[in-house]
Structure 1
Amino acid sequence: MDWLAKYQAVIVCAEKIVRIHWGNETLIIHGDVPGAAPVARAPYRLAPSEMKELAEQLKELSDKGFIRPSSSPWGTPFLFVKKKDGSFRMCIDYWELNKLT
């Protein structure tokens, strides 16, 4: 989340576009893959502590306006990796989605 703020990333869900300011340029990433069928993988199992962390991180991301509820047919699983300080880092598994690009 700090990275998104640092680079003033703008995610436009309705247009499936991400804009990232990089120096004096703006990188624009388009999310549509022409002709691709939606990829949706089942979520990984989470421990109760990870479920709690998930709720907290999703609330924080939603409160900051980075995410919103969606009914998209696209989906990818994620997992949590414990950092040295005991906090969790959310890692998104883009493996199936990356195969399309």
Structure 2
Amino acid sequence: MSIATTPSALPRVLSIAGTDPTGGTGIQADVKGIAAHRGHGMAVVTALVVHNTRGVRAEHGPPTSFLAEQLHAVSEDVGIDAVKIGMLATVETRGSCCQ
């Protein structure tokens, strides 16, 4: 399914960030914020985080090749009008997502 690129269509906003199981930050908060501003929120997950309201306990990042595949899949199908970048857990992630 593709989302039309007309003036009346929702802006397609991609969040590139880590997760937050509590929903207060990360991909979860980004998608809620995008929806609140009448956008179509999408996500590329850079890190799975063990986290609660007191802080981060651990994180796990996918290989950069997997991140590149996520970016490619979203951009070739739905399209992207804007990007919001959050947590980039490693130097390799920063290089692959932000060039």
If the length of structure 1 is used for normalisation, what is the TM-score?
0.26
If the length of structure 2 is used for normalisation, what is the TM-score?
0.27
Instruction: Give the structure, 1 or 2, with the largest relative contact order (CA under 8 Å, sep 6 or more).
Output: 2
